[in-house]
Amino acid sequence: MIQRKQSLWLLIAALLNAGVFLFGVYRYHIMENGVDTLKEVRINDHFPSLLIALVMTLLPLVTIFMFGNRKRQVTMCFVSMLAVCSFITIALSRTRNLNALPSSESYWIGAVLPVASLVFLFMAIMGIRRDEKLVRSVDRLR
């Protein structure tokens, strides 16, 4: 159902995942030609990261409108969680290979947003299961 809590959780998860397009994942300083420059790892620079970010952003939005089939909705939430975990894995592997100075590197907002999205996807799954349980109890009364 569109007006249920899990729809809000899915919308928030999609918005958090979309935030990855706006913010960088990782920032580091590097010396280039004797000048200290600030570099940023963004998903737009890496095609597989871009594809996974698109998938992890669109899946919760599509899942909102699958309210007629709750089992498929739960499956789509799990697939979305898998996409978010694969994005986090790719982001971590990309940042591990950088040759930056150890004291001047840090994860940025784009690295935290997918982790927060996992929490909201989990809350959506719990809400969908609660709805399924409610429908089963009402069917039992008939």
What does the pLDDT profile of the chain (142 residues) look like in tens digits? Answer: 445 888 999 999 999 999 999 998 888 777 778 777 777 888 888 899 999 999 999 999 999 998 888 899 999 999 999 999 999 999 888 887 765 555 577 788 888 999 999 999 999 999 999 888 888 887 666 6
Using CA atoms, how far apart are residues 141 and 135, in angstroms rounded to an integer?
10
Using CA atoms, how far apart are residues 98 and 100, in angstroms rounded to an integer?
6
> pTM of this prediction?
0.85
Domains contained in the chain, number: 1
Orientation of helix 5-22 relative to helix 109-141, angle to 10°: 160
Which CATH number do you get for residue 75? 1.20.140
Residues 6+ apart with CB under 8 A from 109: 19, 23, 24
Q: Domain limits at 105?
A: 5-141
